[in-house]
Amino acid sequence: MAVSWRSWLANEGVKHLCLLIWLSLNVLLFWKTFLLYNQGPEYHYLHEMLGCPTETKATFGVHLKIVGDWTERFRDLLLPPSSQDSEILPFIQSRNYPKLYIDGPFGSPFEESLNYEVSLCVAGGIGVTPFASILNTLLDDWKPYKLRRLYFIWVCRDIQSFRWFADLLCVLYNKFWQENRPDYVNIQLYLSQTDGIQKIIGEKYQALNSRLFIGRPRWKLLFDEIAKCNRGKTVGVFCCGPNSISKTLHKLSNRNNSYGTRFEYNKESFS
């Protein structure tokens, strides 16, 4: 006996229809995720966008590295063709910009770096982004916080990457020199891949050029030096970068030293 359409719809149709919709949505989500992580680095490097608000600064900047066709098209939506090389988005422009939605703010382990008397902050490449808010906070006013010495280590593959925050580092460096606190921030920049001696272009970056090293950090010697200069203190270790660096720092943080210095390891990953 044939089942009528109305009878089937009343008994089983709704259940099967919901199941079909649910399966379709899952398949769609799977393919969107697959394409997102299979189209090249430009798709999963959107974490290179960075917000750096502080208590005294309500605005934030967005840093987007152009590494493929997706980010190139995104740049073309924002900048007119004649000024695509500009680093700053023009504020007065008679064109319709796409609407952007931003989630947040979200907490970060690096906020705790202000609660140590001594902190070691290590960034690998774009892993410098979580530290930007900390540096901006110190630039506003460092006195309310417990932090009195910051070791800032940044490792990049190419020299141009240092220009992302070169201005901020220079301003911060000059601020503490003018306030007679030259030992507050210890900046070390490492260029891991190069064919020869290079420098950050620009007269205003001379302070950074003198702190630019070729090669990779000698982590054990660095920890020994920090332990010796901060005997008996607790040093907060913060890392955002490749797993290889993170594992090395974690291992060294757990190692005993003869100076009574304790290292507490913290990690944030953008992967």
For the record, the structure tokens of 19 come out as 């199941």
Query: 133: closest CA among 201, 196, 59?
Result: 59
Over 80: is that where the pLDDT of 86 sits? no
**149-157 mean pLDDT:** 92
CA distance 116 to 46: 31
Domains within the chain, CATH numbers bracketed? 44-78+96-106 (no CATH), 109-267 (3.40.50.80)
Q: Are 145 and 134 in contact (CB under 8 A)?
A: no
The per-residue pLDDT for range 162-219, each reduced to its tens digit, is 877 888 888 888 899 899 998 899 999 998 877 655 666 666 777 788 888 888 999 9
pLDDT of residue 1: 47
For the record, the structure tokens of 202 come out as 């620009």
For the record, the structure tokens of 109 come out as 């382990």
Residue 145 makes CB contacts below 8 A (sequence gap 6+) with: 114, 115, 137, 138
